[in-house]
């Protein structure tokens, strides 16, 4: 009987730890429907938390030359998308997100796949042949492996 409270505490602690582990790679899904639709037309709409504000400025500021294609939009839509990415970038808010690891205030990588955090998370775990799979096609195709990436859930790795 004296063991009873100890058991409860132990179980609670195990649950807390396992929940934290499961919810490790979660990002707020895109809340703005215009951002979700326009950014998601050709590729998965990447969560803004995955690049610093400076990166998004460069990318959204040159949509006519968007990774080899013209992805231009009307000025109002561009302004709306810029604001959403500024408000939710990896370095927005009080605490920087994990995608700022290895980056400093001046860094502005143009690809999520070029950030030290992304590279570290993928380079040992994902074999080269997985990237060559025609169903994957591009490193920008998060949902090929992370089925719930659209909802900001990358825990299935």
Task: List contacts with other proteins (CB under 8 A).
Answer: 42-44, 64, 67-74, 135-138, 140-141, 144
The two structure tokens encoding residue 33: 């429907």
Confirm if 91 and 152 have CB atoms less than 8 A apart. no
Q: What is the chain's length?
A: 157
Query: CB of 131: closest distance to other proteins in angstroms?
Result: 11
Closest distance between other proteins and the C-beta of residue 68, in Å? 4
Nearer to other proteins, 126 or 140 (CB): 140
Closer Cβ to other proteins, 45 or 100, answer by number: 45
Q: How far is CA 151 from CA 29, 46, 65, in A?
A: 5, 10, 27
Q: Which residue, 78 or 98, is less far from other proteins as judged by CB?
A: 78
For other proteins, give the closer residue by CB, 92 or 136: 136
Round to whole Å and give the CA distance between 141 and 124: 18
- CB 84 to other proteins: min, Å: 19
Which residues is 66 bridged to in the sheet?
69
Cβ at position 80, least distance to other proteins in Å: 15
Instruction: Find the shortest distance in angstroms from Cβ 82 to other proteins.
Output: 18
> 44 or 108, CB closer to other proteins?
44
With 0-12 / 13-18 / 19 or more C-beta atoms within 10 angstroms meaning exposed / middle / buried, residue 23 is exposed
């Amino acid at each position: 009987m004296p063991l009873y409270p100890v058991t409860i505490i132990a179980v609670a602690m195990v649950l807390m730890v396992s929940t934290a582990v499961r919810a490790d790679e979660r990002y707020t899904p895109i809340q703005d429907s215009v951002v979700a639709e326009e950014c998601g037309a050709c590729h998965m709409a990447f969560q803004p938390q995955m690049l610093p504000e400076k990166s998004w400025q460069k990318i959204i500021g040159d949509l006519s030359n968007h990774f080899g294609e013209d992805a231009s939009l009307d000025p109002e839509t561009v302004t709306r998308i810029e604001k959403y990415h500024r408000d939710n970038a990896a370095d927005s808010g009080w605490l920087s997100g994990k995608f700022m690891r290895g980056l400093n205030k001046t860094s502005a990588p143009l690809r999520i796949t070029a950030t030290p955090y992304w590279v570290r998370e993928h380079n040992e775990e994902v074999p080269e042949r997985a990237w060559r799979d025609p169903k994957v096609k591009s490193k920008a195709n998060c949902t090929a492996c992370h089925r719930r990436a659209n909802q900001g859930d990358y825990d299935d790795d």
